[in-house]
């Protein structure tokens, strides 16, 4: 059973009771992410995510780690572009300690200056890691070019220049402005009682002063560009292509899921079969949907040799044309629906995924979609719906980013005409 409660200060608590398990996953979700930073603040949300674990008024970083380890719990955090999360998974009997720890790190962080200096080095290494991971880097470069001069186009980690300039006062001011009850959703799933959980939440979060803003600013506008970056040490060329997709709440989102699955979202997809299996041009090729509150991208990623890039682009554009011009066969539509339905149901089998599911639905929709409702949305998609969405998504040539030892290679705009 799912229960939602809004505390007097505006904080939202949502729980799902799962009596057949012995664990509880609980997370503090902030309805603000890197999108809500000014340009000079790029990376600040992510830096705060790191720093809250570096000590509070009540616990040192070592004490936080040892308390979690002593109960066999798992604690993690992440920052996304429109939200951030701090979460713990513990045995049901340890839920009070989990709420105590989460309340402490969210309400009472120290932001110690000495710890900040050390953590900047850690984040610099995280930025270096992206530079050394070409499939991540090509997507960062693509997104920055696709949504230029917009927060959704900037890297979540920030840059070494922006992170290096952060001062303690910057973190404290941003934290106290953003970490307000109206911006916070606490989600919990597992063997729990809502009333008892709510009492714990009121104890540790009830004194937060009311406030918070849900404004996202203006939506981004896509720029259709060809971007290349030469990196001589790379053996492969990494290719990212993309067109504007749909926001998370769009009426055609289920049709877009089917389109993505058929195009490159599974091992039986057209791109995987035609580019890798039949021709051996790539080891990895896939399509993916990235969706936010007011914008989205349908992107293609491939890793290939320099002499095969043009052929991979040609074959991909061919698939775009086919999906615009032809209805997908009934058997392929059925397979895509069953793939999506199976993936969805399997993804909700543990408390951590159920907790995340609760939080994201509350953040983006303000309500919960039942599993039956989600499955019905998938099942209702017709072949005509998929073709109509393909004609909308692929109405312009895609933007392209190419990364590798390029030796002056650059795709031609004429190659991208659909």
Q: Would you give per-residue pLDDT tens digits along the chain (418 residues)?
A: 999 999 999 999 999 999 999 999 999 999 999 999 999 999 999 999 999 999 999 999 999 999 999 999 999 999 999 999 999 999 999 999 999 999 999 899 999 999 999 999 999 999 999 999 999 999 999 999 999 999 999 999 999 999 999 999 999 999 999 999 999 999 999 999 999 999 999 999 998 888 877 677 899 999 999 999 999 999 999 999 999 999 999 999 999 999 999 999 999 999 999 999 999 999 999 999 999 999 999 999 999 999 999 999 999 999 999 999 999 999 999 999 999 999 999 999 899 999 999 999 999 999 999 999 999 999 999 999 999 999 999 999 999 999 999 989 999 999 999 8
Tally of domains within the chain: 2
Q: What is the dihedral of CA 238, 243, 248, 252, to 10 degrees?
A: -130
* Per-residue pLDDT tens over the stretch 196-251: 999 999 999 998 888 877 677 899 999 999 999 999 999 999 999 999 999 999 99
Phi, psi for residue 183 in degrees, rounded to 5: -95, 0
Looking at the structure, tell me whether residues 232 and 135 fall in a common domain: no
Contact 145, 402 (CB under 8 A): no
Q: Which two tokens stand for residue 223?
A: 């720029």
The answer to whether residue 214 is domain-embedded is no
Asked if residue 218 is part of any domain, the answer here is no
Residues 49 and 188 in one domain: yes
Cβ atoms within 10 Å of 57's Cβ, excluding its own: 9
Residue position matching structure tokens 């992206």: 130
100 in a structural domain: yes
CB of 105 closer than 8 Å to CB of 57: no
345 within some domain: yes
Predicted confidence at residue 207, as pLDDT, reads 85
Residue where one domain finishes, among candidates 145, 170, 205 = 205
Using DSSP's 3-state secondary structure scheme, residue 285 falls into strand
Choose one of 141, 172, 205: the last residue of a domain: 205
* CB-count burial class (<10 Å; 0-12, 13-18, 19+) for 357: buried
Instruction: Tell me whether residue 311 is one of the annotated catalytic residues.
Output: no
Task: Give residue 209's pLDDT.
Answer: 85
Within 155-263, strands assigned E span: 184-190, 226-230, 237-244
* 260 and 349 assigned to the same domain: yes
- Which domain does 15 fall in, by range? 2-205
115 in any annotated domain = yes
What tens digit of pLDDT does each residue of 155-199 get?
999 999 999 999 999 999 999 999 999 999 999 999 999 999 999
Q: Which two tokens stand for residue 360?
A: 């994201």
Task: Judge if 180 and 230 occupy the same domain.
Answer: no
Provide DSSP, 54-115. G-BSS--HHHHHHHHHHTT-EEEEEE-SS-EEEEEEEEGGGHHHHHHHHHHHHH-B---HHH
Residue 213 lies in a domain: no
For the packed helices 253-263 and 383-393, what is the interaxial angle rounded to 10 degrees?
80
Q: What angle do CA 283, 141, 150 make, to 5 degrees?
A: 140
Give the orientation angle of helix 371-379 with respect to helix 330-347, to 10 degrees.
Answer: 170
**How open is the CA angle 399-134-85, to the nearest 5 degrees?**
90
One domain, residues 244 and 336:
yes
Say whether both 179 and 68 belong to one domain. Answer: yes
How far is the C-alpha of 318 from the C-alpha of 333, rounded, in Å?
Answer: 19
Q: ∠ at Cα 359 (354, 95), nearest 5°?
A: 65
Q: Give CB contacts under 8 A, 24+ apart, made by 125-132.
A: 126/157, 127/155, 127/157, 127/158, 127/159, 127/160, 127/163, 130/155, 130/157
Residue 345 belongs to domain with CATH number: 3.30.830.10
Q: Token pair for residue 256?
A: 């877009």
The residue among 141, 171, 205 that closes a domain is 205
**Active-site choice (49, 67, 82, 319):** 49
Residue 93 placed within a domain = yes
Q: Would you say 393 and 245 are in contact if contact means Cβ atoms under 8 Å apart?
A: yes
> Do residues 270 and 368 share a domain?
yes
Question: Residue 382 has what pLDDT?
Answer: 98
172 and 124 share a domain? yes
- The answer as to whether 215 is a domain residue is no
Q: Which two structure tokens, joined as six digits, stand for 417?
A: 């005409």
State whether residue 129 is helix, strand or coil.
Answer: helix
pLDDT of res. 262: 98
Q: Same domain, yes or no, for 152 and 94?
A: yes
Same domain (yes/no): 199, 233: no
Indicate whether 182 and 263 sit together in one domain. Answer: no
pLDDT in tens, 42-55: 999 999 999 999 99
Tokens at 229, concatenated: 């970056």
Q: Are residues 167 and 54 in the same domain?
A: yes
């Amino acid at each position: 059973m799912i229960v939602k409660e809004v505390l007097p200060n505006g904080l939202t608590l949502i729980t799902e009771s799962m009596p057949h398990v012995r664990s509880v996953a609980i997370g503090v979700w902030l309805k603000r992410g890197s999108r809500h930073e000014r340009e000079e603040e790029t990376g600040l949300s992510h830096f705060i995510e790191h720093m809250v674990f570096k000590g509070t008024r009540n616990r040192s970083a070592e004490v936080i780690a040892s308390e979690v380890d002593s109960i066999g719990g798992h604690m993690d955090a992440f920052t996304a572009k429109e939200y951030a999360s701090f979460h713990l998974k513990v045995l049901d009997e340890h839920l009070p300690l989990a709420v105590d720890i989460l309340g402490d790190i969210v309400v009472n962080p120290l932001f110690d200056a000495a710890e900040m200096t050390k953590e900047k080095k850690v984040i610099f290494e995280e930025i270096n890691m992206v530079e050394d991971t070409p499939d991540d880097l090509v997507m960062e470069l693509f997104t920055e070019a696709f949504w230029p001069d917009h927060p959704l186009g900037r890297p979540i980690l920030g840059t070494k220049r922006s992170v290096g300039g952060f001062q303690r006062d910057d973190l404290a001011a941003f934290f106290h402005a953003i970490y307000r009850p109206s911006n916070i959703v606490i989600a919990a799933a597992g063997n729990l009682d809502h009333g008892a959980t709510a009492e714990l939440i009121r104890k540790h979060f009830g004194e937060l002063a009311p406030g918070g803003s849900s404004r996202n600013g203006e939506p981004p506008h896509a720029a259709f560009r060809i971007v290349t970056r030469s990196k001589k040490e790379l053996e492969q060329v990494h290719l990212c292509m993309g067109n504007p997709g749909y926001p998370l709440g769009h009426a055609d989102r289920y049709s877009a899921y089917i389109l993505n699955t058929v195009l490159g979202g599974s091992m039986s997809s057209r791109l995987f079969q035609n580019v890798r299996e039949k021709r051996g041009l790539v080891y990895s090729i896939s399509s993916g949907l990235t969706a936010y509150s007011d914008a989205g991208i349908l992107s293609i990623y491939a890793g290939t040799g320099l002499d095969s890039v043009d052929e991979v682009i040609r074959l991909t554009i061919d698939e775009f044309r086919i999906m615009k011009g032809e209805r997908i066969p009934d058997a392929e539509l059925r397979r895509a629906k069953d793939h999506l339905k199976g993936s969805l149901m399997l993804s909700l089998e543990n408390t951590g995924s159920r907790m995340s599911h609760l939080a994201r639905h509350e953040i983006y929709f303000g309500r919960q979609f039942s599993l039956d409702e989600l499955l019905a949305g998938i099942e209702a998609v017709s072949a005509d719906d998929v073709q109509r969405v393909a004609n909308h998504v692929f109405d312009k040539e895609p933007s392209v980013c190419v990364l590798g030892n390029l030796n002056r290679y650059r795709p031609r705009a004429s190659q991208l005409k659909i």
